[in-house]
Amino acid sequence: MSEETRSSQTEPRKQRLDWRRLEVVHRDAAGIDVGNAEHYVAIAADRDEEPVRKFGCFTEDLRRMADWLVERGIRTVAMQSTGVYWLPLYDVLEERGLQVFLVNASHTKNLPGRKSDVQECQWVLKLHTFGLLSNSFHPTEEIRVLRTYWRYRDGQVKEASCCIQRMQKTLTQTNLQLANAISDISGLTGMRILKAILAGERDGRKLAELADPRVKATQEQIARSLEGNWRKELLFVLEQEIGLYEIFQQRIAECDQQIQQHLESFPSHEQALERELGPRVKRKKKQGNAPAFDLRQALYRITGVDWTRVDGMDVMVAQTVVAEVGRDMTRWASEGHFASWLGLCPSKETSGGRVVKKGTKKVNNRAAAAFRTAASTLLNSNSYLGAQYRRLRAKLGAPKAITAMAHKLSRLFYRLLRYGQQYVDKGAPFYEERWRQQQLASLRRKSAQLGYALTPIHP
């Protein structure tokens, strides 16, 4: 027997997938390949003489596409989430009563050979017809509006912080060490002094008199920090940055008005109607970039949860998560599914029965980033969550401990929002004692297996 014959007998045959044996899940389906200037749409060949058509990206073209799909009896449509090009198309199709499946583009590109848009939309149609594509999460209309406002506000806050950094750089170049005398140059004292400098005042003592009485630095220290070279071009840059900073602050205030009005349109939660909001927790401090209105009261009214009770998770974190995922937690089967969707669950990639990679999934999710930020603030917290984070940090290191506590906070968020429970912090001593009892129980089991018994030193 030749070597070629022997190898052909030992190697398994490659079996081709028989699509006719698969069960049809979505019979009235269509597949769309989304593009920047044009969209390609495919339906079953028995529904139209031209089953694959090309439509433009103008609103008139999108409406014509929706009319054609409805006329051909299409009920479900699958399309890839390509950039932001799918957003107008999604709205038009949803208005016409079509069920839109927004699928991850990486789930439809596992097979080579489909190099044209026509083949791509036909491939999406085939996968969707047999139910091989999962629908991505898409929040409701009211949450999408809130998300747009909150994301834009977050961008304005970041731009304002960049202006502060450039202002500090300019002051350093002029050798004005104001940032070393006061904690925040964008505060009341800092802006008074900077505007006085731009108005022509150069006397450090007169500038120091503008400081607020609550500033810890003395007027002599502030006056010494305001001796510089007063270069003309650098003062011009400083003036421009202060102007930009004030513009961004005005935009943030306008965003706060829109967010407040939109939150007022949300229906009130049952628990918020039954029970009034308690006093603010003293350990929580208002952040500098927090909205001007009472966000704590607004979130309590629409969610029924006082998020300041959860250590590490302030109202800013809760607002970010609500703006990203909404209030309806029933869209995830359990808190584990929710944490997995956020990319906070550990995962293992196996090959040949061996683990080749460990870690969390790479997910670009703003809600997960908010939970990680909240987890990183638990280092000095005298609470149950703070004690748990410090133990995980000592055992796993900071990055893994932050992810683990973000996972914990995401489960806690799901539980509070879905079941309406109120969070009660049992404190760090309770956690330490519980951990001690767990260690003692583990040692007793191990000693019993070895034929020994534990005896306390001090009975």
Closest alpha carbon to 442 in 454, 430, 425, 431: 454
Residues 251, 278 within the same domain: no
Q: At 7, is the pLDDT very low, low, confident or very high (cuts 50, 70, 90)? A: very low
* Token couple for 263: 């939150």
Is residue 439 situated within a structural domain? no
Q: How many CB atoms lie within 10 A of CB 238?
A: 21
Is residue 355 situated within a structural domain? yes
Q: Which CATH number fits the domain that encloses residue 47?
A: 3.30.420.140
**85-134 pLDDT, tens digit each:** 899 999 999 999 999 999 887 777 655 555 677 888 888 998 898 888 88
Q: Which residues contact 29 (CB under 8 A, 6 or more apart)?
A: 43, 44, 74, 75, 76, 77, 78, 125, 128, 129
Is residue 332 situated within a structural domain? yes
Q: Which domain holds residue 74?
A: 22-129
Is residue 6 situated within a structural domain? no
**193-237 pLDDT, tens digit each:** 999 999 999 998 999 999 888 888 898 999 999 988 889 999 999
Query: What average pLDDT does the structure give for the chain?
Result: 87
* Token couple for 177: 């060490």
Residues 278, 416 within the same domain: yes
Q: Which residues contact 360 (CB under 8 A, 6 or more apart)?
A: 343, 344, 345, 346, 347, 403
Measured N-to-C along each axis, helices 398-419 and 335-342 cross at an angle, to the nearest 10 degrees, of 130
Residues 424, 297 within the same domain: yes
10: pLDDT strictly greater than 60: no
Residues 121, 26 within the same domain: yes
Closest alpha carbon to 305 in 275, 333, 284: 275
Residues 243, 287 within the same domain: no
What is the number of structural domains in the chain? 3
Is the CB of residue 130 less than 8 Å from the CB of residue 19? yes
C-alpha Rg value of the chain to the nearest Å: 30
Residues 274, 412 within the same domain: yes
182: pLDDT strictly greater than 50: yes
* Token couple for 192: 């008074």
**144-165 pLDDT, tens digit each:** 999 999 999 999 999 999 999 9
| Mean pLDDT score, 311-323 | 91
Residues 274, 258 within the same domain: no
Residues 93, 149 within the same domain: no
Give the pLDDT score at 287.
66
Q: Of the candidates 82, 100, 129, which is a domain's last residue? A: 129
| Mean pLDDT score, 364-384 | 92
* Phi, psi (degrees; rounded to nearest 5) at 80: -85, 150
| Mean pLDDT score, 50-57 | 93
Residues 120, 155 within the same domain: no
Give the pLDDT score at 374.
93
Q: Of the candidates 264, 279, 303, which is a domain's last residue? A: 264
CA dist 40 and 54 (Å) reads: 5
Which secondary-structure segment (H or E) carries 41? strand 38-43
Residues 277, 147 within the same domain: no
CA dist 157 and 379 (Å) reads: 25
